[in-house]
Structure 1
């Protein structure tokens, strides 16, 4: 059984829309690609057919993952969040003590993570380290670039 994923309504709707698109347009396109490759003759030496079948496998795998994520999703309303500690969907301002630089991240599920938008996964090293921390707490995090020392400066919605 998959673990519960906490999502915003926006994140849930986005996953639902992707699933619907893959089940309709995606499957139709793959079926067309397979039919087109099949029409070219001998399947045993048909690279296009093999590629289309592999793409079909990837599509079906993504569909299964999305269905699982949606089945185990819990939609959270930001107005119900307790801001005394860092939690899923809170926005936390942290101070990287080594670089003396403040950064702001929103902690989200892995499906909603988008570093460019400042959304990091609660399953990432930084996300895991920040979960449950309070304002003023300092935490050390092992990341690929080395050790970071982060201080929680603010928690907000």
Structure 2
């Protein structure tokens, strides 16, 4: 989760720089061109300013949400944020390994799935040996939990 907050902080800094330094300079240059009613550069810069401001607000809200996560509240014996889970997909008849991460970190090709994804939601709170039925965009899947490493354990690296 530290990686996520670090990335968010970097994005926030970059957007704040753009909002306080680059965009005001662009707007000032555009204003110097004259007639604002037909000034495409001015309108473009103002639209970008609105977008950056809104995006900055979203990122700051997400940072605030992440700061509320207390890792001590994540169970030791159940699937939760940070867990690495080895499952047997009965539908595909194959063993898969997933790690539950934030939506910003998710990358299905690497086995990193969000806690808010259909599979993530189905697995959260389950224990070793449990079977879950998951409805995904590709159809229904039945997953059996074969191994469980919580955020408190030393888990294998998912790749």
TM-score by length of 2: 0.77
1:64 aligns with 2:51: no
Q: How many residues align?
A: 149
Match of residue 152 from structure 2: none
Following superposition, the deviation at residue 66 of structure 1 comes to 1.6
* Counterpart secondary structure, 2:77: coil
Match 1:28 to one of 11, 16, 21: 21
Contact 1:83-1:155 within 8 A present in 2 as well: no
**Structure 1 residues 29 and 119, CA gap change in structure 2 (3 angstroms):** farther
Following superposition, the deviation at residue 95 of structure 1 comes to 2.1
Larger radius of gyration: 2
User: Which runs of structure 1 show a deviation greater than 6 angstroms over 4 or more consecutive aligned residues?
Assistant: none
Alpha-carbon distance between aligned partners in 2 of 1:119 and 1:29, rounded to the nearest angstrom = 36
Match of residue 43 from structure 2: 50
Contact 1:108-1:120 within 8 A present in 2 as well: yes
1:134 aligns with 2:127: yes
Write the mapping of 1:1-150 to structure 2, written as runs, cut at 5 A: 8-25=1-18, 27-72=20-65, 73-74=67-68, 82-150=75-143
What's the RMSD between the two structures over aligned residues?
2.4
* Counterpart secondary structure, 1:84: coil
* Counterpart secondary structure, 2:47: helix
Q: Which stretches in structure 1 are left out of the alignment for 5+ residues?
A: 1-7
**Structure 1 residues 148 and 32, CA gap change in structure 2 (3 angstroms):** farther
Following superposition, the deviation at residue 35 of structure 1 comes to 3.1
TM-score by length of 1: 0.78
